[in-house]
């Protein structure tokens, strides 16, 4: 069994309870941006409600027997304890703090934990501005801090202002809608732009976009490739997938579109004529994870029909050649720039001889 991946922010989140600085709530509790981990297993979790929009984390929580919901704001429930693992992007984090206040019951407490290198001091200052600070602790190169009891005296002006900081908004002169916290949220990622430059106009039939983000690659395919009859977008972050659905609405009469909130590393259940991907090479923890990209490639190979094509963009240094050569009949680099490379890989026909030497 592999060693568990370290999650210092999650471990530190529960320090106030294990040190008895705070009392574990006797009743329903809410965990925003929840993640699974051993630290919370010290406490009774039967009444813990977890909100998580990132599919791998949501699946892991559900496998652990925890209740997972998509959006706590859709309910009228208010919680005496709200746990928060704020994201790195500050606008998104401030909006999450404002939501936490709105979801906290009178007299309740908000507890948050952030690693020092992802804005712990700024996060603590933000919660202090909204609610006043009840206390803080430091450990594991993290800071865990909590609000004063929510009693209606909070900074309502700041709460109202921060609530909309991560709302969807037009970007790129209105071509797309996006929001803070989504990958490359306010721009076209240069790797994706390079991939688009090398996509052929003859893509046809049913395709898939693995790791679709807010829909840029898919929109470019549908704009350029008139013979594409269907396109499925696979994206692990539900916040991004909702944007993609909005951004591709204008193509709904042109092709059959599917939106899959899905962890690609678990496999893809359908077969495709072509696949495009700008796969992630790190997880939300920011650590490099080339194994994730390699798994995307393997899944693409499994999901392509014989003769089907994969168009992939990746950092030039990432070690993908072995899995590409093992999984495809033909592999070639079709473009390089600014540290990125675009690769075309063709799945071998059953009786064809393969040429597996990437250039």
pLDDT in tens, 116-132: 999 999 999 999 999 99
Q: Is residue 131 part of a domain?
A: yes
Q: Is residue 24 part of a domain?
A: yes
Residue tagged 């350029």 (tokens): 224
Cα distances (Å, whole numbers) of residue 358 to 211, 249, 323, 344? 24, 37, 12, 9
Are residue 201 and residue 298 in the same domain, yes or no?
Answer: yes
Order across the sheet with 67-69: list the strands: 67-69, 48-51, 29-32, 79-84, 104-115, 142-147, 133-139
Mean pLDDT in residue range 232-245: 97
Are residue 152 and residue 173 in the same domain, yes or no?
Answer: no
Q: Is residue 356 part of a domain?
A: no
Query: Does residue 7 have a pLDDT over 80?
Result: yes
Are residue 173 and residue 96 in the same domain, yes or no?
Answer: no
Are residue 47 and residue 174 in the same domain, yes or no?
Answer: no
Are residue 43 and residue 93 in the same domain, yes or no?
Answer: yes
Choose between 276 and 3: higher pLDDT: 276
Could you say which of 163, 193, 215 is where a domain stops? Answer: 163
Q: What is the CATH number of the domain that holds 45?
A: 3.40.50.150
Q: Is residue 247 part of a domain?
A: yes
Are residue 228 and residue 103 in the same domain, yes or no?
Answer: no
Are residue 189 and residue 337 in the same domain, yes or no?
Answer: yes
Could you say which of 163, 196, 222 is where a domain stops? Answer: 163
CB distance 110 to 135 below 8 Å: no
pLDDT band at 195 (very low <50, low <70, confident <90, very high): very high
Q: What is the rounded distance in angstroms from the CA atom of residue 352 to the CA atom of residue 359? A: 20
Q: Is residue 122 part of a domain?
A: yes
Q: What is the rounded distance in angstroms from the CA atom of residue 267 to the CA atom of residue 175? A: 31
Are residue 131 and residue 180 in the same domain, yes or no?
Answer: no
Are residue 181 and residue 141 in the same domain, yes or no?
Answer: no
Mean pLDDT in residue range 238-249: 97
Could you say which of 117, 148, 163 is where a domain stops? Answer: 163
Residue 3 is predicted with a pLDDT of 40
Number of domains comprising the chain: 2
* pLDDT over 90 percentage in the chain: 89
Are residue 121 and residue 246 in the same domain, yes or no?
Answer: no
- The per-residue pLDDT for range 75-107, each reduced to its tens digit, is 899 999 999 999 999 999 999 999 999 999 999
Residue 288 is predicted with a pLDDT of 61
Q: Is residue 305 part of a domain?
A: yes
CB distance 312 to 345 below 8 Å: yes
Going by C-alpha positions, the residue among 96, 161, 114 that lies closest to residue 10 is 114
Q: Which domain holds residue 318?
A: 169-346
Contacts of 202 (CB under 8 A, 6+ apart): 225, 227
Residue 358 is predicted with a pLDDT of 55
Are residue 194 and residue 133 in the same domain, yes or no?
Answer: no
Q: What is the rounded distance in angstroms from the CA atom of residue 52 to the CA atom of residue 134? A: 26
Q: What is the DSSP letter of 244?
A: H
Are residue 183 and residue 324 in the same domain, yes or no?
Answer: yes
């Amino acid at each position: 069994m592999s060693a568990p991946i370290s999650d210092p922010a999650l471990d530190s989140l529960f320090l106030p309870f294990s040190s008895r600085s705070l009392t574990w709530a006797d009743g329903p509790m809410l965990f925003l941006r929840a993640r699974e981990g051993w630290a919370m297993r010290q406490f009774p979790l039967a009444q813990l409600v977890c909100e998580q929009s990132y599919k791998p984390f949501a699946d892991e929580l559900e496998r652990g027997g925890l209740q997972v919901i998509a959006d706590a704001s859709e309910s009228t429930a208010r919680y005496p304890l709200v746990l928060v693992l704020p994201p790195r992007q500050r606008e998104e984090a401030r909006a999450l703090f404002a939501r936490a206040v709105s979801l906290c019951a009178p007299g309740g407490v908000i507890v948050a934990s952030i690693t020092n290198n992802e804005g712990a001091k700024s996060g603590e200052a933000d919660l202090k501005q909204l609610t006043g600070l009840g206390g803080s602790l430091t450990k594991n190169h993290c800071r865990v801090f909590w609000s004063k009891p929510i009693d209606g005296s909070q900074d309502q002006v700041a709460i109202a202002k921060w609530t909309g900081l991560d709302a969807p908004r037009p970007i790129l002169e209105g071509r797309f809608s996006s929001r803070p916290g989504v990958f490359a949220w306010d721009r076209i990622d240069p790797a994706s732009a390079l991939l688009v430059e090398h996509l052929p106009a003859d893509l046809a039939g049913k395709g898939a976009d693995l790791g679709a983000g807010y829909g840029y690659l898919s929109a470019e395919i549908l704009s350029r490739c008139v013979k594409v009859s269907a396109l499925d977008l696979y994206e692990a972050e539900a916040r991004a997938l909702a944007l993609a659905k909005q951004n591709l609405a204008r193509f709904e009469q042109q092709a059959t579109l599917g939106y899959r909130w899905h962890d690609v590393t678990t496999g893809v259940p359908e077969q495709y004529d072509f696949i495009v991907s700008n796969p992630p090479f790190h997880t939300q923890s920011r650590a490099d994870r080339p194994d994730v990209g390699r798994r995307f490639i393997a899944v693409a190979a499994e999901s392509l029909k014989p003769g089907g094509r994969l168009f992939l963009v990746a950092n030039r240094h990432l070690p993908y050649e072995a899995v590409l050569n093992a999984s495809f009949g033909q592999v070639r680099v079709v473009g390089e720039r600014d540290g990125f490379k675009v690769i075309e890989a063709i799945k071998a026909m059953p009786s064809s001889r393969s040429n597996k030497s990437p250039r």
